[in-house]
Chain A
Amino acid sequence: MPRPSRLHVPHAPARPGEAPDFSYVRLSPAGSVARPDVAAAAVDIENLAVELIRVLDDDHRALGPWNPHLDVDVLQVGLRHMLLTRVYDDRMLRTQRQGKISFYMKSTGEEAVAVAAAMALRPSDMLFPSYRQQGLQFVRGAKLVDLMCQLLSNTRDMCKGRQLPVMYHSVPGRLFSISGNLATQFPQAVGWAMAAAIKGSDDLAATWIGEGSSAEADFHHALLFASVYRAPVLLNVVNNQWAISTFQGFAGGEQRSFAARGPGYGIPGLRVDGNDFLAVYAATEWAAERARKGAGATLIELVTYRAAAHSTSDDPTRYRPKDDAERWPLGDPIERLKQHLIALGEWSEERHATLAAELGELVGVAWKEATNYGTLTEGPRLDRDLMFEDVFKELPRHLIEQREQLRRERT
Chain B
Amino acid sequence: MPQMNMIQALNSAMDITLGRDPAVVILGEDVGYFGGVFRVTDGLQRKYGTHRVLDTPIAEGGIIAASIGMAVNGLRPVAEIQFADYIYPGYDQIVSELARLRYRSASAFAAPVTIRTPCGGGIRGGQTHSQSPEALFAHVCGIKVVMPSNPYDAKGLLIAAIEDDDPVLFLEPKRLYNGPFDGDPNKPAVPWSTHAKGEVPDGHYTVPIGKAAVVREGREVTIISYGTMLHVAEAAARALGLDAEIIDVRSIVPLDVETLVTSVAKTGRCLIAHEATRFAGFGAELVATIQERCFWQLEAPIERVGGWDTPYPHAFEWEYFPGPQRVGAALKRVMEAR
Q: How large is the interface on A (under 10, 10 to 19, 20 to 34, 35 or more residues)?
A: 35 or more
Min CB–CB distance B181 → chain A (angstroms): 18
Is the beta-carbon distance between B310 and A216 smaller than 8 angstroms?
no
Contact residues, B32-76 vs A (CB, 8 A): 33-34, 37, 50-51, 54-62
Contact (A387, B126) CB under 8 Å given A182-B58, A250-B56: no
User: Pick the contact of A384 from B57, B60, B129, B316 — CB < 8 Å?
Assistant: B316
Closest to A314 in B: B37
Instruction: List B contacts of A216 (CB < 8 A).
Output: 58-61, 89
- Where chain B touches its partner, the secondary structure class is loop
Closest to A11 in B: B50
Q: Mark A172-209 against chain B: 1 for CB-CB distance below 8 A, else 0.
A: 00000001111100000000000000000000000000
Interface residues in B, total, Cβ within 8 A = 42
Contact (A244, B86) CB under 8 Å given A215-B57, A216-B59: no
Contact residues, B301-328 vs A (CB, 8 A): 308-311, 313-316, 319-320, 325-326
Q: State in angstroms the CA–CA spacing of A247 and B30 once bound together.
A: 10
User: Pick the contact of B37 from A5, A244, A252, A406 — CB < 8 Å?
Assistant: A244
Q: State in angstroms the CA–CA spacing of A398 and B85 once bound together.
A: 24
Is the beta-carbon distance between B58 and A163 smaller than 8 angstroms?
no
Is the beta-carbon distance between B126 and A163 smaller than 8 angstroms?
yes
Is the beta-carbon distance between B86 and A164 smaller than 8 angstroms?
no
Min CB–CB distance A405 → chain B (angstroms): 8
Instruction: List B contacts of A5 (CB < 8 A).
Output: 51
Instruction: List A contacts of B62 (CB < 8 A).
Output: 215, 217
Min CB–CB distance A402 → chain B (angstroms): 5
User: Pick the contact of B127 from A162, A218, A399 — CB < 8 Å?
Assistant: A162
Min CB–CB distance B313 → chain A (angstroms): 5
Closest to A311 in B: B37
Contact (A164, B85) CB under 8 Å given A153-B315, A387-B310: no
Interface of B toward A, CB cutoff 8 Å? 22, 29-30, 33-34, 37, 50-51, 54-62, 85-86, 88-89, 124-129, 278-279, 308-311, 313-316, 319-320, 325-326, 329
Is the beta-carbon distance between B313 and A161 smaller than 8 angstroms?
yes
Q: State in angstroms the CA–CA spacing of A160 and B50 once bound together.
A: 44
Instruction: List B contacts of A410 (CB < 8 A).
Output: 319, 325
Instruction: List A contacts of B88 (CB < 8 A).
Output: 181
Instruction: List B contacts of A180 (CB < 8 A).
Output: 85, 126-129
Is the beta-carbon distance between B51 and A9 smaller than 8 angstroms?
yes
Is the beta-carbon distance between A402 and B309 smaller than 8 angstroms?
yes
Interface centre among A216, A376, A382 (most CB of B within 10 A): A216
User: Pick the contact of A319 from B22, B33, B56, B315 — CB < 8 Å?
Assistant: B33
A251 proximal to B (CB < 8 A): yes
Contact (A246, B314) CB under 8 Å given A102-B124, A164-B128, A410-B319: no
Q: State in angstroms the CA–CA spacing of A115 and B60 once bound together.
A: 31
